């Protein structure tokens, strides 16, 4: 299994995908809870790789994860450019608008919650795409 991690200063996105691309977990948490939550997920799931975006705070987080986790998995950085825009579209695929809001064009709808967990899913998909040679995104 692969753990996707979209780190941020205030909040982080987490997702777990199996190699069959089945989604087992996704959550947005506060940055303060990230290490403890990841440690807990490592105990619950057979995670072999942690995939993380390569922008903003990635170097700090990679160091923090390597030194804080009791048995850190292999950490891989992937290109996260445009992942937030892509995550907006994916959100509406995963959670289609209903009622009157479905009449509003997708680009004009505001998201009802943070989408950092969906970014984490996309990071895993990008990593798997690199492994199989398929371009995703």
Any domain includes 137: no
What is the pLDDT confidence band of residue 135, given thresholds at 50, 70 and 90? low
- Tell me the whole-structure pTM to 2 decimals: 0.89
Interior/surface letters 34-63, b for 16+ CB within 10 angstroms, e for the rest? bbebbeebbeeeebebbbbbeeeebeebbe
**Which H or E run includes 58?**
helix 58-68
Q: Which two tokens stand for residue 61?
A: 């987080």
CB 1 within 8 A of CB 16: yes
Strand pairing partners for 2?
Answer: 17, 49
Among 58-67, 76-85, 99-108, 126-135, name the one with the lowest average pLDDT: 126-135
Give how many domains the chain has, as a whole number: 1
What is the pLDDT confidence band of residue 59, given thresholds at 50, 70 and 90? confident
- Residue ranges making up the domain that contains 22: 2-132
Any domain includes 28: yes
Distance CA 78, CA 130 (A): 9
Distance CA 97, CA 133 (A): 33
Handedness of CA 35, 125, 11, 28 (dihedral sign): negative
Any domain includes 56: yes
Strand pairing partners for 47?
Answer: none
What distance separates the 2 farthest-apart alpha carbons in the chain?
49
Q: What is the pLDDT of residues 64-102, one digit of tens each?
A: 998 998 888 999 999 989 898 999 999 999 999 999 888
**Which H or E run includes 15?**
strand 11-17
Structure-token match 């692969």, residue found: 2
CATH assignment of the domain containing 22 = 3.30.420.140
Structure-token match 């089945």, residue found: 22
């Amino acid at each position: 299994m692969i753990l996707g991690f979209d780190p941020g200063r205030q909040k982080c996105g987490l997702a777990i995908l199996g190699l069959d691309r089945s989604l087992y977990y996704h959550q947005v948490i506060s940055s303060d809870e990230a290490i403890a939550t990841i440690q807990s997920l490592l105990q619950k799931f057979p995670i072999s790789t942690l995939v993380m975006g390569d922008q903003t705070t990635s170097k700090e987080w990679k160091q923090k994860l390597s030194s804080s986790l009791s048995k850190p998995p292999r950490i891989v950085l992937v290109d996260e450019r445009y992942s937030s825009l892509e995550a907006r579209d994916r959100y509406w695929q995963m959670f289609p608008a209903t009622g009157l809001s479905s009449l509003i064009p997708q680009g004009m709808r505001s998201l009802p919650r943070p989408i950092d967990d969906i970014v984490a899913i996309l990071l895993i998909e990008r990593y798997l795409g690199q492994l199989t040679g398929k371009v995703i995104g």
